[in-house]
Amino acid sequence: MSSSPKSNQVTHIDVRSIMEVLPHRYPMLLIDRIIELEPQKRAVGYKNVTFNEPFFTGHFPNNPVMPGVLIIEAMAQLGGAAILEPKSQTTTVPYLAGVDKVKFRRPVIPGDRLMMEVDVIWIRMNIGRLRAEARVGDQPVCSGELAFSMVSDTRLFRLDASILHN
């Protein structure tokens, strides 16, 4: 994956700004900061994994390990931020549509900083594919390809939205 800076690249996007783009909230928002963003091309970001993560309560109580599906979800969220048009006021949201060629190399434990990088492979109409990888320090954690579909869903952006009231 490339890491050369580009002129239209944005750096250091904090969690409040991430929440303006993605509908995820605690405990499912799995990106703490985006440190590089080249819209619709690539993004680099991280999740600081702490002992206080709710998933460690049951996965596993005496040997806490971040679930692999949440590592994939964190990479997918970073990918979602990468593929959205910057400053768009749309209600279109990228949904994870598939995973391919995913490999796990190392567990993620409390105290780790999960560094993630995604590169857009292609986008056509409302679907696309990303290449994603995650590391802790210089050690590979997870890599693979993620497919997404852009879906218009205004319920995700209403504070009073609930599946119980539809």
Instruction: Report the catalytic residues.
Output: 59
Query: Which residues 6+ apart lie within 8 Å of 122 measured at CB?
Result: 128, 129
d(CA 84, CA 47): 20
